[in-house]
Amino acid sequence: MSEYRVVQVSDLHLGAGHEHHYDNWRKVAAWIEREKPDVVVVNGDVVMEDPDIEADHAFARAQIGKLTVPCRYLPGNHDIGDNVLFGKMAQRVNDERRGRFLRHFGEERWAFEAGGWGFVGLNAQLFGSGGQSAEAEQWDWIEASLGRFSGRPIALFLHKPLFLDHPAEPDHDDLLLRQSCVDRASRTRLLELCRRHGVRLISCGHKHQSRAFSLDDIYHIWAPATACVNGPPDRLHWGVREVGFVDYRFRPDGFTHRFVGADFLFRHENYMRKHDASGGEG
């Protein structure tokens, strides 16, 4: 029985004229070229930090474009802005920022079938958009795409985790925690669709931590960042503070995963670079 191999890379944070994080991406790209997976899922936060810097989008696209294996792209908060109602960044998702990402990467969601599985990638930044037409259009698309694969296992990819502790948790008052996951109303709606249509895996990034657990017959896997770890060591974390990426192998009867890269990537500590003169994290 043949396998379909997916490598998920997340939180690359590549920027024109910036060397930090680029060293790790060169190592990841070399590994991908040696291993030749069937597809690479680039799972958001591709650019360094600011979604409005055109040169960073162009630089990131050029570097990823050197890969000789197919890639599928999804946006993160640093690519197109944060969620309108539940984000933390000053820059929030809008049509202009989405358009910039689409010009450079060609897509913000996708669905395809391979290895006996349905694969669906969606734009997590549109959840809680405050009424943007793009969010309503995506909800229709999500339901149609999941319905298209009903009867076979489905793997769902998006940038942000659905929740931190439990699907029923309220939206957090703390801005850092609130922007760490999908808002409660959207996650409730999405999980209902996932259960109805047989989603077996939900794979995300965003938190720069690796984590793997199952709940209600769905596996949730958080991909670490290729770029760096975030937050000082004494901050509460839900996963393991490590760098790396995820190597998936899918078969009609299931899948396997492994976290790769912690043993050969540089474990950059991002909070050091952001530490300001007052002793706080900027």
Question: pLDDT tens across 84-143, in order?
Answer: 999 999 999 999 999 999 999 999 999 999 999 999 999 999 999 999 999 999 999 999
Q: What are phi and psi of 151, to 5 degrees?
A: 100, -10
Domains within the chain, CATH numbers bracketed: 4-274 (3.60.21.10)
276: region left, alpha or beta (phi > 0 left; psi from -120 to 50 alpha): beta
Q: Which of 105, 142, 117, 143 is nearest to 6 (CA)?
A: 117
Residue where the block lists tokens 């949730």 = 220
Q: How confident is the model at residue 278 (pLDDT cuts 50, 70, 90)?
A: very low
Closest CA to 80 of 96, 63, 60: 96
Q: Is the pLDDT of residue 183 over 80?
A: yes
pLDDT score of 28 = 98
Residue 257's nearest CA partner among 41, 22, 24, 20 is 41
The share of the chain scoring above pLDDT 70, in percent, equals: 97
pLDDT over threshold 50, residue 277: no
Q: How is 211-236 classified by DSSP, letter by letter?
A: EEEEETTEEEEEPPBSS-B-S-TTS-
0.85 exceeded by the pTM? yes
Residue 211: CB atoms within 10 A of its CB come to: 18
Which range is least confidently modeled, 71-75, 214-218, 276-280?
A: 276-280
3-state secondary structure of 33: helix
Q: Taking the CB of residue 165, how many other CB atoms lie within 10 A of it?
A: 9
Side by side, which strands form the sheet with 211-215? 110-114, 117-121, 154-157, 199-204, 218-222, 211-215
Q: How far apart are CA 179 and CA 86, in angstroms?
A: 6
